[in-house]
Amino acid sequence: MHRRHLTAAGVVLAIAGLPALAQPWPALGPDGIVLFRHADAPGTGDPPQFRLGDCGTQRNLGERGRVQARELGARFRARNIAVGQVLSSQWCRTRDTAELAFPDRVQPAPAFNSFFNEDAAQSARQTTAARAVLAAWRGPGVLVVVTHQVNITALTGIFPASGEGVVVHVTPAGGVAVVGRLPP
């Protein structure tokens, strides 16, 4: 009896330690959409000297983030998920996340640039532009967007962790509905 309890506890611990591949993912249909927050980039926001296009002035992926990004792509490949297009904010940490996960597939998409330090009007304009990009997606394959927490929160109300994905679909009224979440 005592041995059985230890074995059951061992099974629970083993399951808890399984990689993200073992966790169920929400269905990503043939024209699905997933919004990923960039992988781990230590810190918050960007330094005061930030310049778009100059990674030396930005907050960038750390080693953990580079590993997360590679694992993200590996999880898609292991599940045979057909990726139709990969869009990324123009920030280095998002572009690098997308490129490490989906090499040579990344296209810049300014609608998904961060608006962390912008006013409410700019945030609203950018969120409207992002919704239009999502609404236009028809596949084939999954649309992968690598962006920032503020963008995903504005679109979905979810505050994602670094490297987390939010699976969405566009409603007939042009809104964004959450289908599920993909753990980092």
Measured CA to CA, the distance from residue 166 to residue 180 in angstroms comes to 6
Whether 172 is in a domain gets the answer yes
As a whole number, the mean pLDDT across the chain is 87
CB count within 10 Å of CB 104 equals: 6
Tens-digit pLDDT profile for residues 95-127? 999 999 999 999 999 999 999 877 888 899 999
Q: Is residue 105 part of a domain?
A: yes
Domain assignment of residue 1, yes or no: no
Q: 121 lies in a domain? A: yes
Higher pLDDT, 45 or 88: 88
Examine residue 122 and state whether it is found in any structural domain, yes or no. Answer: yes
Q: Taking 90 as the threshold, does the pLDDT of residue 4 lie above it? A: no
Global pTM? 0.85
> Does any domain span residue 5?
no
Structural domain count of the chain: 1
* pLDDT of 20 strictly over 50: no
The phi, psi pair for 5, rounded to 5°, reads: -65, -40
Q: Is the pLDDT of residue 52 over 70?
A: yes
Q: Is residue 10 part of a domain?
A: no
Instruction: Give the structural domain span for 141.
Output: 27-182
CATH of the domain at 58: 3.40.50.1240
Does 93 reside within a domain?
Answer: yes
